[in-house]
Amino acid sequence: MRTLNWEDGAIVAIDQCLLPHQETVLRLRTVEELIAAIQRLAIRGAPALGVAGALGVALSARLRSRDGRLDETAVRADAELLASARPTAVNLRWGVGQALAVLSEGPEAVLAQALRVMEADDRVNRQAASDAADLITGLCPDRPLRLLTHCNAGALATAGTRGTALGAVFELAERGRIEYVIVDETRPLLQGARLTSWELARAGIPHRLAVDSAAASLMRRGLVDCVVVGADRITANGDVANKIGTYGLAVSAAHHGIPMVVVAPESTVDEDLADGALIEVEEREADEVRRVLGTPVAPEDTPAFNPAFDVTPAALITAVVTEARIMGPRVVTAGRAG
């Protein structure tokens, strides 16, 4: 299963807003359609957004080319709109930048670059997931493990077939090291309930769904060996922006002496930001809180606070694992050669 692909001049994507009840494929033929899909979270997940950004520039370059002439100014304008579609996840702008780097070489070169970004995504995420599985094995008891996840960092959050944090879960399951996975529902849009549970069920991995507010209690009862999550931006000092609720998990995990491991590609690391205080946190519309899957659960005019992400300080994270390195206050390795 690939969340994203390129087919016959269109970006093909699974509509994640409709899962798990409908498996619908979108064919996005304009940059405007792609931006709309990203903003309504039909396409989501930091690595997937990076690939979508690169493919979106390729799409624009094709559409903005006439009689052998490429309107680079128009492509760059499309690219800026695309890169700004979701401000917190750095991968989106990174992917756009990767494709723009070869814009002067023409539409075919841009498409080739975007396809290289897509193909690399699966490779780097598999490496990060494997390294994270090794790390978790060393941090946790020598028995089948009880892991807790938040949001969705599986194949659906990437352009590959494994994912980042959930990729580490799949790797551990193949090694016979999983007793079960606790899946946070992840309010307000239920990416854990709808997407992570769907992926784990398809993989045949034992799991149990839990409301977000149960996590601390489950840790206190000794039912969690490790928390493993993805990331949307990692700053130079190791602070991590991830789905809202991650910070609370980190505080609870630290209090209970439970490892907290973040798995993400290097493209999620933003060396230009010194720390998490500089991250722009996306604020989404109030109806996402006032409703659950379209059903009202609060009076229509109730004001709501709906940040899509929060920032977890590096001091609360045991380790951040990318395909190139492992970093954290307690676990540090040198960068991987090559």
User: Which residues are CB-neighbours of 73 under 8 A, at least 6 positions away?
Assistant: none
How long, in residues, is the chain?
Answer: 338
Per-position b or e across 273-300, b if 16+ CB within 10 A of its CB: beebeebebbebebeebbeeeeeeeeee
Report the DSSP beta bridge partners of residue 31: none
Measured from the Cβ of residue 10, the count of other Cβ atoms closer than 10 Å reads 18
The model's pLDDT over 262-280, given as tens digits with 9 standing for 90+, comes to 999 999 999 999 999 999 9
SS3 content of the chain, % helix, strand, coil (to 5): 45, 20, 40
User: Which residues are CB-neighbours of 281 under 8 A, at least 6 positions away?
Assistant: 88, 241, 307, 308, 309, 310, 311
User: What's the pTM value of the predicted model, to 2 decimals?
Assistant: 0.94
In this predicted structure, what is the pLDDT of residue 333?
A: 39
3-state per-residue secondary structure call for 216-277: HHHHHCCCCCEEEECCCEEECCCCEEEECCHHHHHHHHHHCCCCEEEECCHHHEECCCCCHH
Which residue stretches of the chain are H helix?
A: 31-39, 46-63, 72-83, 90-100, 107-139, 165-174, 191, 197-203, 215-220, 246-255, 287-290
* Rg of the chain, C-alpha, whole Å: 19
User: Which residues are CB-neighbours of 79 under 8 A, at least 6 positions away?
Assistant: 56, 57, 60, 96, 99, 100
In this predicted structure, what is the pLDDT of residue 2?
A: 83
In this predicted structure, what is the pLDDT of residue 271?
A: 94
Measured from the Cβ of residue 195, the count of other Cβ atoms closer than 10 Å reads 27
What is the spatial distance between Cα 325 and Cα 152, in angstroms, rounded to a whole number? Answer: 22
Is position 232 annotated as part of the catalytic site?
yes
The model's pLDDT over 123-177, given as tens digits with 9 standing for 90+, comes to 999 999 999 999 999 999 999 999 999 999 999 999 988 899 999 999 999 999 9
The model's pLDDT over 60-112, given as tens digits with 9 standing for 90+, comes to 999 999 988 999 999 999 999 999 999 999 999 999 999 999 999 999 999 99
Catalytic site residue from 232, 239, 270, 310: 232
Domains and CATH numbers, the chain: 4-121 (1.20.120.420), 127-327 (3.40.50.10470)
